[in-house]
Amino acid sequence: MTGREDKVANNLFFLCSLIEYIGRKTKNHRNVIVNAIGKMI
């Protein structure tokens, strides 16, 4: 099955959207969210 975007672009969009969502909900800056995710991995 082929979509309009490739898998890498879709995954990148999902990750960016997730960071944005978490940042808004927790009222943190985006770099704080990215650093926290990086430490979990």
Question: Could you tell me if residue 1 is inside a domain?
Answer: no
Predicted confidence at residue 39, as pLDDT, reads: 80
Task: For residue 17, give Cα distances in angstroms to 1, 11, 24, 27, 29.
Answer: 23, 10, 11, 15, 14
Assigned domain for 32 exists: yes
Question: At residue 23, what is the residue type?
Answer: G
Q: At what angle do helices 7-26 and 30-40 cross, to 10 degrees?
A: 120
Domain that holds residue 11: 7-40
The per-residue pLDDT for range 2-41, each reduced to its tens digit, is 667 788 888 999 999 999 999 999 999 999 999 998 887 7
What would the two tokens of residue 8 be? 């890498």
Global confidence as pTM = 0.75
Q: What is the pLDDT of residue 4?
A: 77
Domain assignment present for 30:
yes
Output the CA torsion sign for 8, 17, 32, 29.
positive
Tell me, yes or no, whether 24 lies in a domain: yes
Q: How many domains does the chain have?
A: 1
Instruction: Assess if residue 34 is contained within a domain.
Output: yes
